[in-house]
Structure 1
Amino acid sequence: MTASNRFDSAVERRPSLVAWRLAVFAVFAINGATMATWVARTPAIRDALDVSLEQFGLLIFGMAVGSIGGLLVSSHLIARVGTRAGMLGGVLLSLIMIALVGVGSAQLGSYAVVLAALVVYGACMGVVDVAMNVEGAAVEQEQGSAIMPWFHAAWSGGSIVGAAIAAGLALVGVGLDLHTLGIAVVLGVAMLVADRGLPRHRPLPGLDDDGDGPKRTTFGQRMAIWREPRTIVIGLVILGMAFAEGTANDWLALAMVDDRGVDEATGAFYFGVFAVAMTTGRIVGVPILNRFGRVPVLVGSAILAIIGLTTLILVDQPVVAGVAIFVWGLGASLGFPVGMSAAADDPERAAARVAAVATVGYFAFLVGPPLIGFLGERIGLINSLWVVLALVVVTAVSSPAARERGAAAREREKRAAKSDTKADAGSPAA
């Protein structure tokens, strides 16, 4: 069989672009729902294990360590088995671990079992995060337009559904073990269905010269990613925005209660405003990305986040605070997904680069909360947001590194040219 025939055969066996895109949406949503299942039941897990806040913090730290480990090995694993197998195996194993967390808490009362399960779950989460972002970037390259923020919006949607299910089951008294076992089965079946829409072969840009399959990279080549200036600077883009997002997730409600004197329900409402802004930004950001490109969008996003943070810090007024938080959320919404797209511009080493920048982002999620807490004890949580603002400025300065390259740049130029042509055609003749 000639190289051309092998190439055509690979194309024929791939699912349609629509099915592929829907499958990736499903993987993001399943991953979000899995995370929400654990997060929403943390009070019940703590009570079942009868542990202190310090001991429970160690469980969370174990999951974070597992996540970093998963991110560090993900590019090597994906280079060996591919993104499809990485997503399928990672999601199914993570669901088993979530079920084990529920059974280990409710039935066994074993701290060691829950800790081990969360470490493994964190590792699976790290691998799946890289694999699904690489797959999402491949969909972008195949269809010739940005869509990554919508995939991340699907993750948010999945987490909302997962949290709502958890809240409902907790309200009617369903135990941890039944909840986690049931959700593992349901999401496991959903993942098996989604897997049918994923291609069995890597996207076309990654084929060998003879058309036989993905280009192979060595361990040394994948590790050399960490010495690439562009990859490191894209990591800084993600660092600032991940810090802005993670700080709101962990501290916003408490900051409004402690430093602005609102009640607990109002603090939760303010966090809800941020979450809605994040989801809104990711939904409406795609057409803006396709029209203007990554760098203007990242700079504009950083400016919005800076305006929102500055207003929240300096103005102590409830309505203004709500508007400022919404603007902050809009600004923080696109940094992570756009950074992932930029890291995956070159399909040959996409997994290694996505793993590298995702590791930087997870570092922000891991180190950011304790840093803000440490500063909050001394200068107040609201004033500690100046650190977040400074890192968002770093994002704005670093944004040119995310400029489209290669095929991604050519596709955006074509879209911009078509848009300009349509505008000219609709204008009255002079």
Structure 2
Amino acid sequence: MSNEVRAARWSLLVQFALFGLVMSSWLSRMPSIREALDVNAAQLGGLLVVGGLGSLTGALTIGVVVARFGSRRALLAGTIGNVVGFGSIAFATATGDVRFFIAGAFVNGFCGSLVNVPINTNAAEVERRIGKAILPHFHACFSIGAALGALVGAGFAALHVSITVQILVVLTAVTVARLALYRPATALTLHVPITTETGSISHDATAAHRRGAMRQALGAWREPRTLLLGVVLLAASLAEGTATTWLSLAVVDGFATAEAAGALAYGTFVAAMTVFRFLGTPLIDRFGRVAVLRVSGLATFSGVLLFVFSPSLATAWIGVLLWGCGAALGNPIAISAASDDPVHAGPRVAVVTSFSTVSSLAAPPLLGLLASEVGARHAILVVAAVAVVSFSVASQARRRPVPVSDEAPAATPASVDRASAD
């Protein structure tokens, strides 16, 4: 492994962890945010949907941004944009001005794509250079960062530090680290084609090539298997996103406990998810995607039911553990299955990941409305219902043979290794 690849690998591992940290730390303090903005659960859900709109806007435009400016500048723009977004949210929680919260949530949602796509693209390039599957390790680092963020939130809550101060402290630390690492993290994709949500991008691409990529991208929307894999990813994203947004609030309201306990419950969820993301590759290699995906669905279903109907917080905590384990592998399995054919991987992954954006857009207001009627704890039953749907379409994740085509790129060690599984 060259020094450049090694530096990129470690820089990206930290970048993924920082991404999880900055996104989860403030979300673990939902009770404080609700109080600071003086809104109820339904209104809070409506405010959170603005972040989904920002994410959707980012997903639709990130291809153009990367094509024009490159992944390094996109990552830098996302880093700076997060300063603006979180700064606005901090101001909103300090003053109670919902308008600044709306603006900050939208900016952060948009900048999530500016950060997410470059670090994932560069992580995939690291995997290609190394020649073996290591992408789940990067996603596990995101989970580690999210767990640390939840612990940070719990610590600040236990010390009775305001959410405003917490946001500013975390933002400062994360921004300094990101700026120190963005150059080595993006060194491998400065002069190579980049795959994003809108297709394969080359800095020397012609207009004809871009039109062909667009036709290929639209064609992926007509493939039943790709759409059903999107359902799998939607279920996984809903399971993870619901815990991120509502678990701490459900614990506080449902069990009449302290805010720190809610943040620790979310930390438990993320810790369970992280462990299973590290263990996921050997489990998938041994039992296959479909079996692991179905067991994951059962774990999510059982965990949510146990959390919702448990008579005590202690047994509900077991449900949180099961829920976290079940949510761990749906995302990488769906993306891996969509990438079976390397020629069409870009458009298919774009379609599949768009379902995640739909989940982040629709879930907050839906769960907010349900929470206002039945309470945040019982509103989470939606996750169990969607897990059943994911279980029913899990067979679509079975590995498909790659068609022989003169368009297909030469096999890399990583692609050969992946093709031997399942």
Q: Percent identity?
A: 35
Cα distance change of structure 1 residues 55 and 245 upon mapping to structure 2, 3 Å threshold: closer
- Tell me how far 1:163 sits from its aligned partner: 5.4
How far, CA to CA, are the matches of 1:267 and 1:44 in structure 2?
11
Is the CA contact 1:282–1:334 (under 8 Å) kept in the aligned structure 2? yes
Match of 2:179 in 1: 189
Partner of 1:363: 358
Code of the aligned partner of 2:169: H
How much has 1:186 moved relative to structure 2? Answer: 1.0
Match of 2:328 in 1: 333
How many angstroms apart in 2 are the aligned matches of 1:64 and 1:236? 18
How far does the alpha carbon of each residue in 1:56-115 deviate from its partner, in whole angstroms, 9 at most, with x for none? 666533322111111122344445555454334323433344345546776x98765554
In structure 2, how many angstroms separate the alpha carbons of the residues matched to 1:125 and 1:304? 29
Which of 2, 5, 10 is the equivalent residue of 1:22? 10
CA contact (8 A) 1:301 1:331 kept: yes
User: Which residue does 1:64 correspond to in 2?
Assistant: 52
Counterparts of 2:345 and 2:46 in 1: how far apart (Å)?
33
**TM-score (norm. length: structure 1):** 0.74
Once residues 78 and 386 of structure 2 are traced to their aligned partners in structure 1, the CA distance between those partners, rounded to angstroms, is 32
Structure 1 unaligned spans of 5+: 1-11, 417-430
TM-score normalised by structure 2 residue count: 0.75
- The code of the aligned residue for 2:176 comes to V
Give the letter aligned to residue 411 of structure 1.
D
Shift of 1:155: 1.4
Give yes or no for contact 1:62–1:118 (8 Å, CA) kept in 2.
Answer: yes
C-alpha deviation, 1:119, in angstroms: 1.9
Identify the residue that residue 82 of structure 2 maps to in structure 1.
Answer: 94
Distance 1:400 1:280, change over 3 A: same
Structure 2, unaligned stretches of length 5 or more? 403-410
* Residue number among 228, 234, 239 corresponding to 2:234 in the alignment: 239
1:324 and 1:175 map into 2 onto residues whose CA distance is 32
Q: Following the alignment from structure 2 to structure 1, what is the Cα–Cα distance between the partners of residues 166 and 377? A: 36
Counterpart Cα distance in 2 of 1:136 and 1:71: 18
Cα drift, residue 240 of structure 1: 1.2
How has the CA–CA distance of structure 1 residues 204 and 374 changed in structure 2, closer, same or farther, with 3 Å as cutoff? Answer: closer
Does structure 1 residue 263 correspond to structure 2 residue 257? yes
The residue correspondences of 1:67-216 to structure 2 (distance < 5 A) are 67-99=55-87, 101-102=89-90, 112=99, 115-162=102-149, 175=165, 179=169, 182-183=172-173, 185-195=175-185, 197-202=187-192, 216=210
Quote the offset at 1:164 in angstroms. 5.2
Work out whether residues 256 and 262 of structure 1, in 8 Å CA contact, stay in contact via their aligned partners in 2: yes
Deviates more, 1:328-337 or 1:403-412: 403-412
For residues 232-311 of structure 1, the aligned pairs below 5 Å read 232-256=227-251, 261=255, 263-264=257-258, 268-311=263-306
1:324 offset after TM fit, Å?
Answer: 3.0
Change in 2 beyond 3 A, CA 1:43/1:187: farther
User: How far apart are the structure 2 equivalents of 1:415 and 1:400?
Assistant: 15
Which residue of structure 1 lines up, in the alignment, with residue 408 of structure 2?
none
Question: Quick check: 1:252–1:270 contact (8 Å CA) kept in 2?
Answer: yes
Cα pair distance change 1:325/1:36, threshold 3 Å: closer
Aligned-residue CA RMSD (Å): 4.3
Query: Cα distance, 1:328 vs. partner?
Result: 2.0
- Is residue 412 of structure 1 aligned with residue 400 of structure 2? no
Q: Assess if the C-alpha contact under 8 Å between 2:233 and 2:334 holds in 1.
A: yes
Q: Which amino acid aligns with 2:418?
A: R
TM-superposed deviation, 1:284: 1.8
**Mapped contact 2:233–2:330 kept (Cα < 8 A):** yes
Q: Which has the larger radius of gyration?
A: 1
Structure 1 residues 188 and 77: CA distance shift in structure 2, 3 A:
same
Structure 1 position 29, deviation (Å): 1.7
Question: Given residue 159 of structure 1, which amino acid in structure 2 is its aligned partner?
Answer: A
Task: State how far apart, in whole Å, the 2-side matches of 1:94 and 1:379 are.
Answer: 34
Q: CA deviation at 1:28?
A: 1.3
CA shift, 1:395, in A, is 1.5
SS of corresponding position for 2:103? helix
Q: For residue 192 of structure 2, give the secondary structure of its aligned residue in structure 1.
A: coil
Q: Which amino acid aligns with 2:289?
A: R
Q: Give the deviation of 1:123 after TM superposition.
A: 0.8
Paired residue type of 1:263: T
Number of residue pairs the alignment of both structures matches: 399
CA shift at 1:232, angstroms?
1.2
1:9-40 per-position Cα deviation (integer Å, ceiling 9, x unaligned):
xxx9x865433332332221222233245546
